[in-house]
Amino acid sequence: MKKILLGCFAFSIMGCAWVATAEQTSSEKQLCDDYNNDKAIIIIGNTPFEDSEWYADWSSILNSFVIANNEFLHVYRASQLRHTDLKNYSVLFSKKSKQNYLLEEVIEPQSYEYVLLEYTQANIPKHINAFKPEQINTNLVSKICNL
């Protein structure tokens, strides 16, 4: 009887895992593949347009950073993913083997550069080290990927 119950329990767990995976969007599946292959991931929070100097600076810095490093970074928008709770103008950096970083409304390019240098295991100069962004313990990507 115990074997039957354990078998049913194991089957129900596998069934639940399959359902969670089956419900992922194509972007979420790609994100999970990238994460499991230890790729550097950026998730950009919603970015409503603002007619302001701050928005122009933020957008320009982020776009320049992404374009300059597109061979290394895999970029996703929060709007592509169902299970994100990022604030507007936030940028989440995640890599399976590294610390997660959250930049909220950051317009200092050195903060973005810090994460890139850490993720590529390069030496971080002192003038960049001063811009180390906030580390977060919650791994949003793990939640999306059901890890």
The 3-class SS string of the chain reads CHHHHHHHHHHHHHHHHHHHHHCCCHHHHHHHHHHHCCCEEEEECCCCCCCCHHHHHHHHHHHHHHHHCCCCEEEEEHHHCCCCCCCCCEEEEECCCCCEEEEECCCCHHHHHHHHHHHCCCCCCHHHHCCCCEEECCCHHHHHCCC
Residue 120 pLDDT class (50, 70, 90 cuts): very high
Residue 22 pLDDT class (50, 70, 90 cuts): low
The pLDDT score that the predictor gives to residue 6 is 43
Mean pLDDT of the chain: 86
The pLDDT score that the predictor gives to residue 14 is 41
User: Residue 88, Cβ neighbours under 10 Å: how many?
Assistant: 12
Q: Which of the pair, 137 or 70, is modelled with greater confidence?
A: 70
The pLDDT score that the predictor gives to residue 122 is 96
Query: Domain spanning 24-144: which CATH class is it, in words?
Result: alpha beta
pTM for this model (two decimals): 0.81
